[in-house]
Amino acid sequence: MTELGERPGGPRALLADRDYLRLWLVGGFANAVRWLELLAAGVFAYDQTGSGLVVAAMTAARMLPMLLIGALAGAVADAVNRKTLLLAGQAATGLSASVVCVLAFADLLTLWHIAAAGGVSGIVWAGEMAVRRRMVSEVAGPTRVAPAIALDTVTNGMTRMVGPALGGLLLETVGIVGVYLLSAALYLAGFALVLGLRWTQETRPLRILQIPADIAAGFAVARRSDTIMAVLATTIVMNAFGFSYTAMIPPIGRYEFGVSATLVGVLASAEAGGSLLGGLLLASGRLVPSRGRLFLAGAFGLMAAVALAALAPWYVLALALLFVGGFGTASFASMQSTLILTEAPPEMRSRLMGIVTVCIGTGPLGVLAVGALSDHVGASTAMLAMALAGMAGLALIRVRWPALGG
């Protein structure tokens, strides 16, 4: 593991660290591509089929690997050099995006091609928490984990705000060829940044037969900590019930509000805009309440905003509500990684981050559920039902592990 000493820092000091900056930019590029492609794939699928379930299935194809191999990725990242893993991921996703771009240019692109490319990205994304996010915390040093993760979350908010809007604009102007051409270019830039990263890590032989025992050891550590168990349970509820709303944005924007692809992208970006501002506040260090309380309050805030947005009769009101909900997303996302990285023993951190990834990977189940529900009751009603169910789940977590919100 890289040890670069403990330096003071808010955002400016962190970004002055060339290795932190490289990892931060790689995360920004990857996040931008993720949301750019999700929006473009959703609009493309809805325009082709008119089905909310198909849109949800396209989103699920990208997220399902997190559920299936997230824990495996965490065990591998504890043994194999994480820089090598990060390079391999950038290369694989860049090649995948290039293939889709060529197929679109040749007018041979189908939904199956986009779903397959989403699956490749999902496999790489399954290692994001255990690989790049852990590297971020290690480069920052133990005394700067919270602001380093908060600043990294700002990137997610920024790219989730820009990515969908840019995706909608590119679809309207240059078509899906432009979307995947930009994706390939950003993955290539990320690969170049990782190449120049100064990174040393104590590795060990990767024993395939030992991986199940390694994963089991991670779960055992989680079960002994009320804080970690509460974080894992909240992550499941948020991803299965809260963030599933994103799959409904294309049909709500297109059918219920009757807006253009560009405005659909803006609506999809609203929550991310609030998350960006909230993340900046957290990274500044000016907001220092209980981490557990902030984590749970953020989760409740996002769920409430989604429920109210589902009831909104006007596009602008839905936009404003989702923007406010983004402050909750920032609190939830920042404290999610921070609580795990500070509560877990160092030798278990990648494994536990892999388990968090598995919990995030329950998102496709929620996406498919909201998609199926929307075909029967409409996109807004389905979105409202999922948000209310999620709030009920969060209330149960608060009762089961009261110390987290204390």
Q: What is the pLDDT of residues 350-389, one digit of tens each?
A: 888 888 888 888 887 888 888 888 888 888 899 999 999 9
| Structure-token match 């309440």, residue found | 289
pLDDT digits (tens, 9 = 90+) for 253-290: 877 888 877 788 788 888 888 887 887 777 765 555 56
What is the length of the chain?
406
Q: Would you place residue 184 in the very low, low, confident or very high pLDDT band (cuts 50, 70, 90)?
A: very high
Task: Judge whether 301 and 211 are in contact, CB under 8 Å.
Answer: no
Report, as an integer, the average pLDDT of 83-93. 93
The pLDDT of 56-71, averaged and rounded, is 77
CATH H-level superfamily of 11-198+211-405: MFS general substrate transporter like domains (1.20.1250.20)
For residue 186, the model assigns a pLDDT of 93
Angle at 184 between CA 178 and CA 185, to 5 degrees: 90
Q: Which pLDDT belongs to residue 286?
A: 56
- Average pLDDT of the residues in 77-88: 87
* Between 17 and 203, residue with greater pLDDT: 17
Q: Average pLDDT of 183-204?
A: 88
For residue 48 the two structure tokens come to: 């082709």
Name the more confident of 99 and 286: 99
| Cβ atoms 329, 37 nearer than 8 A | no
Instruction: Tell me which residue of 210, 178, 149, 170 sits closest to 20, measured CA to CA.
Output: 149
User: CB of 140 within 8 A of CB of 148?
Assistant: yes
* Contact status, residue 225 vs residue 339, Cβ threshold 8 Å: no
**pTM of the prediction?**
0.71
What is the DSSP secondary structure assignment for residue 85, as one 8-state letter?
H
SS in 3 state form for the chain?
CCCCCCCCCCHHHHHHCHHHHHHHHHHHHHHHHHHHHHHHHHHHHHHHHCCHHHHHHHHHHHHHHHHHHHHHHHHHHHHCCHHHHHHHHHHHHHHHHHHHHHHHHCCCCCHHHHHHHHHHHHHHHCCCHHHHHHHHHHHHCHHHHHHHHHHHHHHHHHHHHHHHHHHHHHHHHCCHHHHHHHHHHHHHHHHHHHHCCCCCCCCCCCCHHHHHHHHHHHHHHHHCCHHHHHHHHHHHHHHHHHHHHHHHHHHHHHHHCCCCHHHHHHHHHHHHHHHHHHHHHHHCCCCCCCHHHHHHHHHHHHHHHHHHHHHCCCHHHHHHHHHHHHHHHHHHHHHHHHHHHHHCCHHHHHHHHHHHHHHHCCHHHHHHHHHHHHHHHCHHHHHHHHHHHHHHHHHHHHHHCHHHHC
What pLDDT, on the 0 to 100 scale, is given for residue 264?
A: 82
